[in-house]
Amino acid sequence: HSLEHMSDPAATVALATRLLKPGGLLTIAVPNFDSTQRRWFGRHWFAMSVPVHRQHLSRRPLERLLTPHYDVLRFSTMALEQGTFIFAHSVVNALTDSHEPNPLYERLSLRQPGSAGMLSLVLQGVALLAALPVGFVESLVSGWLDRGTVLTLVAQKRRES
């Protein structure tokens, strides 16, 4: 997961194209902006992560970016562990009305001490744990329907590129 962090994904793909030999494989994995979770949670979607994620990508724009030099071999939105994790934290974001990483995530990742009190953190933890099984089922069904939270494309550089 790095393309969503780039200010110019086209330039990043162009660089990869110059470096990759004909017939070589390029794998891209990004949060799927067309996912069911993004539609459900909106600004509370944990993978939105503005300004850390500078781009929000979906299948068609990615394929357009690759079409001049690549053949897409594989497409998937099935990522159970990431989808479940993102779902659970999106629930906590929605409950805390946060569009940034929620206080529980910040505390657990040791990024910053956070301003939430202990009771608030415990309640967020309970909500997170309760959301995990639902998130797993949602990730399974959405992935199966090509609406999962993480979009992965594997493309092969054309020999004539």
What's the gap between Cα 7 and its chain centre? 16
pTM of the prediction? 0.83
Residue 141 has a pLDDT of 97
Residue 96 has a pLDDT of 84
Residue 54 has a pLDDT of 80
Q: List the chain pLDDT tens, one digit each, 161 residues.
A: 788 888 899 999 999 999 999 999 999 999 999 999 999 999 999 988 777 788 888 999 999 999 889 999 999 999 999 999 999 999 988 988 866 666 677 666 655 655 567 777 778 888 889 999 999 999 999 999 999 999 999 999 998 75
d(CA 52, CA 129): 25
Residue 120 has a pLDDT of 73
Residue 122 has a pLDDT of 79
d(CA 3, CA 21): 20
Contacts of 73 (CB under 8 A, 6+ apart): 25, 154, 155, 156
Burial class (CB in 10 A: 0-12, 13-18, 19+), 116: middle
Backbone angles phi, psi at 152, to 5 degrees: -120, 125
Residue 67 has a pLDDT of 87
